[in-house]
Amino acid sequence: MAVFETYTQLRQAEDVQDEIYIISPVDNPVASMSRTLRANGKIHEWTEDVLQAAAKNAAVEGAPVPDDSSVPVLELQNFTQIMTKAAEISGTLEEVDKYGRDSEMAYQLELRYGELANDEELAIIGAPGGTRQTAIAGDGSTAREMASLFVQLDASVIEDGVGYTTIPELEAGILASHLSVYSAGGNPSYLFTDPTRSQHIASFAYTAGRQRDLRNEAKLVNVIDLYVSNYGELDVVLDRNQDDAMYLLDFNYLATPVLRPTRDWPIAKAGDSDVRQILRESTFAVLNTLSQGAVDNVPAVLTIS
């Protein structure tokens, strides 16, 4: 007797999971951890000042009032940058049943919002490979661009890693930058690095024979998540969008002034599709140019010694 089988019977229900799996990250720690300020114009300005260095101060009894040694404050600025995306969905695609989402437009907007957050982080921290934005005023045919974090730092708090070949040289550079910031009065509490160069920080323990007490637990640890020097503690943070520098950051002196918060709106229909534009206009402010540090041009490969 012949058996009627699935191989011959048609119109069987498909076995499809009603989910969409995506691992592409939204990674914008510098932008999200910085203070949000209100920008009121396309050029956002702020003011920096500094105490004069300590010096010997001994006056003769009855001496006249000394000359005023005040110096002008320093005016700083950055341009707001317009960042925009779009989602366009045909009327049919929005209406048909779909796996993993009810509304195609809502799903695409969620993706665009994440992409826009990554784009902002890239503008702030610099693209992998060392590409950094400089301030561009823009005109009728040229987009305004914000200056990146690195471009706003004072040269005295930056160490250049060109020529580094070993892990001890990198650690010495981080310490030198940390000392420069500390001497100026800064107190960074985070060490930002890209995922590749984070392996160098894990190697610090090998070069100095530093160990972690695991209380007889069967664990192998190859990571440093808190770096402690004479000048303070630095929590290590990985940023996938970061360039080839390592940054010592104090978020008390970092801000994202926002002229137009991220939002979306419909564009007039021109056919059988719906279009929504997503837009954000913001900039980035290093509120004091001596408050942050950096080791630039860190090689991707370093030897232990």
Q: What is the pLDDT of residue 294?
A: 97
Question: Do the domain assignments include residue 10?
Answer: no
pTM above 0.95, yes or no: no
Q: What is the pLDDT of residue 216?
A: 58
Tally of domains in the chain: 1
User: What pLDDT, in 10s, does the model give residues 98-136?
Assistant: 999 999 999 999 999 999 999 999 999 987 666 799 999
Residue 216 belongs to domain spanning: 29-48+74-296
Q: What is the pLDDT of residue 215?
A: 57
Q: What is the pLDDT of residue 220?
A: 47
Average pLDDT taken over every residue of the chain: 91
Question: Do the domain assignments include residue 120?
Answer: yes
Question: Do the domain assignments include residue 303?
Answer: no
Question: Do the domain assignments include residue 14?
Answer: no
Question: Do the domain assignments include residue 288?
Answer: yes
User: What pLDDT, in 10s, does the model give residues 238-269?
Assistant: 999 898 999 999 999 999 999 999 999 999 99
Q: What is the pLDDT of residue 222?
A: 53
Return d(Cα 165, Cα 169) in angstroms, integer.
Answer: 7
